[in-house]
Structure 1
């Protein structure tokens, strides 16, 4: 049996020698999980339960990822919020997506929950920062709170997202900002239709967000055809 040797994805700014001199404002100072002192509290507050291994290190709830180290702010669970904004109904339905500055794909606007912030507050803040759209007076539908297959996740640090659906009557003006290099409305009748429209312009739909978008579609379609639940 071959030995498991995950790739260390820790960026230079989160390696022990760098953290000894400077801690980024988005990250905790702990060079390894051994330096974290509140695992009981983190496990009790986790949206998705997780265990610690024999060393006392957090274990990804879904198992091995093939990646070690940390490329996220916290060891263990990192909370995010993803607002899915849908305009119109039926065949005229559109969804608001950004082009991410880090990996250049089409994705739901959203980001990490800041310390002292709630997920609903993050939904509003991230949407405003990345698209200029303010839906603070709208009540979203919470679709899910679960692990997303984020490219920065490792065996010991992962992302749990609160995905929420905002429905508005028609498209509104949006302007890219913060971590978005572009923002646009896309056809949203089905996930296949959305993917085809994005592929047609030479871009890619972020794989980690496809399950969240499908949940939004399922919710919207069930509202139109409630008899399907019987």
Structure 2
């Protein structure tokens, strides 16, 4: 990932004047204007800049996390400046994701299903983007992403929706970010899982506690994706309450 411009806490709010702000453009080659003129990737919209997007009112109305447009009509990250600009995601503005967190067992025998992401090679929740092109819903995306990345089919299981919110995704910029629906599946025992799609590996890690999980990941010579740490901690607490009921 490109080096970012460090944003002091007092200047994160876009409403605060910062004349010298110089965010780093992280737009990959395939999303640059000249590339989009030749071919639009299947996972992306064809708008080279936010000016070409015509449905901002609808996007704002449907957003999981409210956001505003600046004076030139560009979407602004709800959490403020990121130090990055351009687009390294499929859509300008909010990119909607679904993150299924699967936990099996109870107490010290509890396990959590994580996958090794092929983009950053870190252990993460096996989630992904909602297919907004087809009108896919978040509940449907939870099932699809889990099945595609791990081979685990939980279509007959009812998850607990933990909430929605911003994800501190490494691809986010001032004008494109990720907001997700976080859901918890609690199983009595682990089930067979096989890595597929954009997961390099799939593992049931010990998760009796957050400390136990992080120790197990470190012992395997791997790293937990920092953006998913608070989601996993919340899910572990939720699973403990469910299994204790």
> TM-score of the superposition, structure 1-length normalised?
0.95
Number of matched residues? 226
1:33 pairs with 30, 50, 59, which one?
50
Structure 1: distance between partners of 2:19 and 2:210: 39
Verify the 8 A CA contact 2:167 2:179 in the aligned structure 1. Answer: yes
1:184 aligned residue: 203
1:81 aligns with 2:94: no
2:157 aligned residue: 138
1:20 aligns with 2:34: no
Structure 2: distance between partners of 1:24 and 1:224: 43
1:100 aligned residue: 117
Q: How does 1:1-230 map to 2 (within 5 A)?
A: 3-114=20-131, 115=133, 116-223=135-242
Shift of 1:217: 1.5
Shift of 1:221: 3.0
Structure 2: distance between partners of 1:215 and 1:45: 25
Q: Secondary structure at the match of 1:195?
A: helix
Structure 1: distance between partners of 2:50 and 2:209: 42
Unaligned runs of 5+ in 1: none
Q: Secondary structure at the match of 2:40?
A: coil
Shift of 1:224: 5.6
